[in-house]
Amino acid sequence: MSENSFGRTLYPLALVLWTGAFGWYALKVSAAASSLSRDAGRLEDQARALDTGARRLRSLARESGERAGDARFLQDIPNILPEDKGYLRTQKAIEGEVALLRAKVSKRLKGVLHLVIDAKANKLYVKKGAQLLWQADVSVGRGGVLKDAKSGRKWEFVTPRGEFRVIGKALNPQWRKPDWAYVEFGEPVPPPEDPSRMVSGELGAYVLNLGDGYLIHGTKREELLGRPASHGCVRVGAADLEKLYQTVPNGTKVYIFE
């Protein structure tokens, strides 16, 4: 066979083989592309599902937070109201209990005249049993401590709390100045029985004695009534002090609270 004849036979065969190989490779690439397309579709579906799940989780988290807040609110209600935590009383039930308590207090007091002093509000109430007769602005102890640098003695300017009695009354009383009245202004303290201690007009026209040095008396500073301003006694305006003196007998109970 001549060289030209061999060449004419070999070239067509090579072309056929190359065309077949190229076609096979093209089919393989096409199959891979189809697989990648399917995988991309599946990934998109999974991404959409994850996004939907994330939105659902956020919604559940918000709902859970709101429910937790409601639970805390309901749990705290028994701590706000004066009642057992096992149940919630209605306003009507509370009003009924208050009425019952008032009835018990009224029965215990048996319609007796007494004084009630609210040291926080600086108010004095004149009551007969549970009935309020009248009320007045007062000044109770202003608080604070005074210390004598020389002797080391201390005085606290507060009105005591508790139950007391009117153990005596006086008209146009004189005030025996205590030691603290001198120490407060840096003055020398005189002997206990020194006549200079006796001062007229300082306590007003009347005084009701509660014992232990505590008095209900008048004041020269009526503009301070309704505020804590005294050194421990209960200060009252002139008109209300006269009413107290005329209507409150010795032995009357006095309740001071805050």
Tens digits of residue pLDDT in 154-196: 999 999 999 999 999 999 999 999 999 999 999 999 999 999 9
Q: What is the distance in angstroms between the CA of the first residue and the CA of the last residue of the chain?
A: 133
How confident is the model over 2-26, as pLDDT tens digits? 455 544 555 566 555 656 655 556 5
Residue 97 domain-assigned (yes or no): no
* In a shared domain, residues 21 and 72: yes
Number of domains forming the structure of the chain? 2
* In a shared domain, residues 123 and 226: yes
Residue 93 domain-assigned (yes or no): no
pLDDT of res. 239: 97
* In a shared domain, residues 62 and 122: no
What would the mean pLDDT of 223-240 be, rounded to a whole number? 96
Q: Which of 18-22, 49-53, 150-154, 196-200 has the lowest mean pLDDT?
A: 18-22
pLDDT of res. 17: 60
* In a shared domain, residues 58 and 156: no
pLDDT band at 246 (very low <50, low <70, confident <90, very high): very high
Which amino acid is present at 44? Answer: E
pLDDT of res. 82: 47
CA-CA distance, 236 to 226, in Å (whole number)?
10
Render 82-135 in DSSP notation, one character per residue: TS-TT----HHHHHHHHHHHHHHHHHHHTT-EEEEEETTTTEEEEEETTEEEEE
* In a shared domain, residues 64 and 145: no
* In a shared domain, residues 71 and 127: no
The tokens describing 32, both together, are: 């891979």
Residue 92 domain-assigned (yes or no): no
Residue 77 pLDDT exceeds 80: no
* In a shared domain, residues 126 and 250: yes
* In a shared domain, residues 253 and 207: yes
Q: Strand 198-200 and strand 174-176: pairing?
A: antiparallel
* In a shared domain, residues 140 and 229: yes
pLDDT of res. 231: 95
Q: Which of 117, 233, 241, 248 is catalytic?
A: 233
Question: In which domain, by residue range, is 115 found?
Answer: 111-257
pLDDT of res. 185: 93
CA-CA distance, 16 to 4, in Å (whole number)?
19
Decide if 123 is catalytic: no
Q: Is the separation of the CB atoms in 93 and 73 below 8 Å?
A: no
Mean pLDDT of the chain: 80
Decide if 233 is catalytic: yes
Say which residue, 111 or 195, is predicted with more confidence: 195
CA-CA distance, 222 to 27, in Å (whole number)?
110
Predicted TM-score (pTM) of this structure: 0.60
Question: Which phi and psi angles does 255 have, rounded to 5°?
Answer: -110, 120
Residue 39 domain-assigned (yes or no): yes
Q: Which of 114, 127, 169, 217 is catalytic?
A: 217
pLDDT band at 244 (very low <50, low <70, confident <90, very high): very high
* In a shared domain, residues 171 and 224: yes
Final residue of a domain: which of 55, 79, 103? 79
* In a shared domain, residues 164 and 241: yes
Final residue of a domain: which of 60, 79, 98? 79
